[in-house]
Chains A and B, each alone.
Chain A
Amino acid sequence: MIRIINLFFIIFFLLSSKAYSLIEIDITRGNLDPLPIAVSPLFQDDNSKRNSINELKIENVGSEISLVVENNLKISGLFNPLSKEAFLQKPDIAHLKPRFEDWALIKAQALITGKVTIEDKKLKVEFRLWDILAGREMMALAFTTVPGNWRRVGHIISDKVYERLTGEKGYFDTRIIYVSEEGPKTARVKKLAIMDQDGFNTKYLTLGNELVLTPRFNPTSQMVTYLSYFKNLPRVYLLDIETGTQEVVGDFPGMTFAPRFSPDGKKIIMSFAKDGNSDIYTMDLENRIVERITNHPSIDTSPSYSPDNRFITFNSDRSGFQQIYVMKSDGSNVKRISFGKGLYGTPVWSPRGDLIAFTKLHKGKFYIGVMRTDGSGERLLTENYYQEAPSWSPNGRVLIFYRETKSNDKGEGFSAKLWSIDLTGYNERQVQTETDASDPSWSSLLSN
């Protein structure tokens, strides 16, 4: 028997036998009716509370973890975490066996419970996901880590819940690398910065002495490639964010820019500008062999590989204006795919392989959009005064980009901020950063 409870996109399957997958969320369409979920504070006994204060200077880390989960689920736009004020059952009892009627009464359709212990400098967390309407446990997991990782535990729980209820991998245990910006427009100071996807744990990776731009994560490791004006020579660099070591990529007699990793992490693809002409090159990170991919008197830049490494999408003005092209990864079979009105830039291939996200400029407005890899099905997700440079969440469901505001004639009123929007065009929201920010790049899932 299938019962559609919410007319919109949440479907419940009530099965008579031993049931799994009772609640499901369809994330392929705009979710206008997020799933009401109760995130009970994770229970922590008095002994662990004392250890928590000693180790972390936090009295109730179980509560804090549940807030991380709640916030993640909320910003996904797919869930509506209910107010804890309304909870009738205590965390420890709920974790053993929830009284489903109590949770149904406050309109919860799913419930997360859990328990935290801190002993011998170890943080042990177990959690359960419950289907309230079916009155069943959907998932139970436990893991152990160092106490300092408690925020990551919250992200991992969020990913597990997201995956269980949507059928797709989550994107919460991830980081964003971006360019932090400060100062007036005419003398902007830019630093590389990295933070958790939810805006916490910001670290600055450079000091702001030289201009840095366009950092991008390696999808397979904690390496970053970016453009630095170190010694006033704009070159692509490779940075290991675990060790802090960095190096120039290749030995080019001119500006290299617009770097990105190949999806297998083995190559960097970028532009090299010489004598007024920019073409696309790759460098193999193992054997350091440099290959020229395009050879055309136009500007060829912003290259991005398909997830199977077989194709490259890039930006070129060979038609006279900026448009998006796709070619085989050896540079053959170049085809223009953008044919709408306006200029197109910053193509970036979805990790799912089926779409290319881009920036479009038309009649003085900037759009973030997506199209299929043959250029069909163009869909503009958001329009603004200025925005560009989308980067995909690792599950290909969310785009993060940056947006700048218009200045008045004195240059006042300018800001640059990170924003995210779902592929559906819904759930547009500002991503909190400590400073002004631009050029965001989303990491892969850290816990895989």
Chain B
Amino acid sequence: MNFSKSFRNTFLVILLSLIVSACATKKTTTTVEGQMQGDVYTGTDTVKYLADGVPDRVFFATNESILTTKSRDTLRKQANWLRENSSINVVVEGHADERGTREYNLALGERRANAAKDYLITYGISADRISVISYGKERPVDSGSNPLSWSKNRRSVTVKAN
């Protein structure tokens, strides 16, 4: 029997660490009808504002990264705000709901964040002011396991980077 391998491994991996700021907001969830169109969330429960009248997020249908009419409206407001505040850079975070495999959801989140980014670029915002990050299904805002909760989690969120 070969016991040549070292068995006294030190397993402690010391990592310099930054705290991942969990973009989580505590919200009470209610299953109110009329907060979804198809399966896209249309409510304002979880929405925060980059400035007065400038919502920070847009929502997606299951497995989709297509921007709805409402999403495009929100992103145009974000583009206007970015144009007026040219010193501000943003990160667009892409998210998925919990009903998918982890790795595919990472890719899907990235696709959603880029859909939002591309729209901002179309409206004149320089690409180097916008970075993207996908969290896949790792950072839900609503922890329920129901269609309304999932619709709130399928989102891209524009966050100030500086």
State the A residues within 8 Å of B (CB). Answer: 141, 143-146, 148-149, 152, 156, 184-188, 192, 194, 203-207, 209-211, 213-214, 222, 227, 229-232, 234, 239, 241-244, 246, 255, 257-258, 271, 273, 275-278, 299, 301-302, 315, 317, 321-322, 345-346, 359, 361, 364, 386, 388-389, 404, 406-411, 414, 438-439, 446-448
- Assess the A230–B106 pair: CB atoms within 8 A: no
* Docked complex Cα distance between A373 and B20 (Å): 40
- A209-B17, A209-B18 as given contacts; A232 in contact with B133, CB under 8 Å: yes
Count residues of chain B with CB under 8 A from any CB of chain A: 57
Stretch from B49-57, B72-80, B111-119 forming part of the interface with A = B111-119
Q: What are the residues of chain A within 8 A of B100 when measuring CB–CB? A: 322, 345, 361
B104 CB contact (under 8 Å) in A156, A276, A315: A315
- Assess the B3–A143 pair: CB atoms within 8 A: yes
Q: Which residue of B has the minimal Cβ distance to A276?
A: B114
Q: Tell me whether chain A's interface is mostly helix, strand or loop, or mixed.
A: mixed
- Assess the A145–B3 pair: CB atoms within 8 A: yes
A207 CB contact (under 8 Å) in B8, B15, B25, B104: B15
Q: Which residue of B has the minimal Cβ distance to A201?
A: B11
* Docked complex Cα distance between A138 and B77 (Å): 78
- Assess the A407–B145 pair: CB atoms within 8 A: yes
Q: Which residue of B has the minimal Cβ distance to A402?
A: B102
* Docked complex Cα distance between A414 and B118 (Å): 36
- A209-B15, A244-B10, A409-B149 as given contacts; A301 in contact with B103, CB under 8 Å: yes
Give the distance to chain A from B21, nearest Cβ to Cβ, in Å. Answer: 8
Q: What are the residues of chain B within 8 A of A242 when measuring CB–CB? A: 6, 9
- A209-B17, A273-B134, A276-B118 as given contacts; A315 in contact with B103, CB under 8 Å: yes
A149 CB contact (under 8 Å) in B3, B11, B139: B3
State the B residues within 8 Å of A (CB). Answer: 1-3, 5-15, 17-20, 22, 24-26, 28-31, 63, 65, 98-104, 106-108, 110-111, 113-115, 118, 133-135, 138-146, 149
A276 CB contact (under 8 Å) in B15, B65, B142: B65
Q: Quick one: which of A146, A149, A409 has the most chain B CB within 10 A?
A: A409
Q: What are the residues of chain A within 8 A of B102 when measuring CB–CB? A: 213-214, 388-389, 438-439
- Assess the B17–A210 pair: CB atoms within 8 A: yes
Give the distance to chain A from B111, nearest Cβ to Cβ, in Å. Answer: 4
Give the distance to chain B from A312, nearest Cβ to Cβ, in Å. Answer: 15
- A211-B20, A211-B138, A409-B149 as given contacts; A145 in contact with B103, CB under 8 Å: no
- Assess the B103–A322 pair: CB atoms within 8 A: no
- Assess the B11–A244 pair: CB atoms within 8 A: yes
Q: Which residue of A has the minimal Cβ distance to B2?
A: A447
Q: What are the residues of chain B within 8 A of A447 when measuring CB–CB? A: 1-3
* Docked complex Cα distance between A230 and B17 (Å): 7
- Assess the B146–A205 pair: CB atoms within 8 A: no
- Assess the A229–B20 pair: CB atoms within 8 A: yes
Q: A209-B20, A210-B15, A271-B103 are in contact. List 7 more A-B contacts (CB 8 A).
A: A149-B3, A205-B13, A255-B133, A322-B101, A386-B98, A388-B101, A414-B145
Q: Which residue of A has the minimal Cβ distance to B31?
A: A409
- Assess the A244–B103 pair: CB atoms within 8 A: no
Give the distance to chain B from A337, nearest Cβ to Cβ, in Å. Answer: 17
- A209-B15, A406-B145, A411-B144 as given contacts; A186 in contact with B98, CB under 8 Å: no
* Docked complex Cα distance between A250 and B39 (Å): 39
Q: What are the residues of chain A within 8 A of B17 when measuring CB–CB? A: 207, 209-210, 230
Q: What are the residues of chain B within 8 A of A231 when measuring CB–CB? A: 18
- A184-B143, A186-B141, A447-B1 as given contacts; A301 in contact with B107, CB under 8 Å: yes
Q: Which residue of A has the minimal Cβ distance to B63?
A: A321
Q: What are the residues of chain B within 8 A of A214 when measuring CB–CB? A: 102-103
Smallest CB-CB A-B distances: 5 pairs: A411-B143, A209-B17, A276-B114, A143-B1, A345-B101
- A210-B15, A210-B20 as given contacts; A302 in contact with B103, CB under 8 Å: yes
Q: What are the residues of chain A within 8 A of B114 when measuring CB–CB? A: 275-276
Q: What are the residues of chain B within 8 A of A244 when measuring CB–CB? A: 10-14
Q: Which residue of A has the minimal Cβ distance to B6?
A: A242
- Assess the B134–A408 pair: CB atoms within 8 A: no
- Assess the A410–B29 pair: CB atoms within 8 A: yes
